[in-house]
């Protein structure tokens, strides 16, 4: 039985921990889930002054590079199904919009990003799996 049909893995412009990506991929493989990577891009004030087409081009370029980097670093070919979404905005608001669009069964998030979901957690009805920071020796 497929316990988690859709797994959401939100992240921002930094890859803090390869462990979190690997865990999300392994869990998606185990449950034969659709893994949805949600890359959120937060704009700085200087970037807000650009025209819409410039912003869209920059976002598409950034998103394309990030997707290529992830596909090269992690074994995504082994996944039956995955999606890669890039969106401009705060992580919490993008997660809430995504769970309205797609029936999400599980959210996997890096511990460092969990605080961004705190204020919105009462709107999230699925389990949230928090991946701890790797231990630095």
Is residue 6 classed as helix, strand or coil in its secondary structure?
A: strand
Instruction: Determine, yes or no, domain membership for 65.
Output: yes
**31 in a domain, yes or no?**
yes
Give per-residue pLDDT as tens, 64-122.
Answer: 888 888 888 887 888 889 999 988 888 999 999 999 999 999 999 998 888 888 777 78
Q: Band of the pLDDT at 37, cuts 50, 70, 90?
A: very high
Q: Which residues of 101-135 are buried (b: 16+ CB within 10 A; e: fewer)?
A: eeebbbbbbbebbeebbeeeeeebeeeebebeeee
Domain that holds residue 88: 6-131
**pTM for the full predicted model:** 0.84
Question: Is 136 contained in some domain?
Answer: no
pLDDT, position 137:
47
Higher pLDDT, 120 or 11: 11
Q: Is the residue at 1 inside a domain?
A: no
The answer for 65, left when phi > 0, alpha when psi is -120 to 50, beta otherwise, is alpha
- What total number of domains does the chain contain? 1
- The pLDDT, as a whole number, for residue 64 is 83
């Amino acid at each position: 039985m497929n316990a988690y049909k859709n797994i959401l893995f939100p992240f921002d412009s930094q890859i803090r921990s390869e462990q979190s990506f690997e865990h999300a991929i392994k869990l998606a493989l185990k449950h034969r889930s659709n893994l949805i990577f949600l890359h959120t891009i937060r704009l700085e004030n200087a970037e807000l002054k650009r025209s819409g087409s410039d912003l869209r081009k920059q976002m598409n370029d950034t998103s394309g590079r990030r997707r290529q980097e992830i596909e090269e670093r992690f074994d995504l070919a082994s996944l039956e199904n995955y999606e890669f979404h890039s969106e401009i905005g705060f992580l919490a608001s993008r997660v809430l919009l995504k769970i309205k669009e797609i029936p999400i069964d599980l959210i996997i998030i890096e511990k460092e990003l969990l605080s961004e979901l705190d204020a919105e957690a009462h709107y999230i009805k699925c389990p949230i799996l928090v991946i701890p920071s790797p231990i630095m020796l």
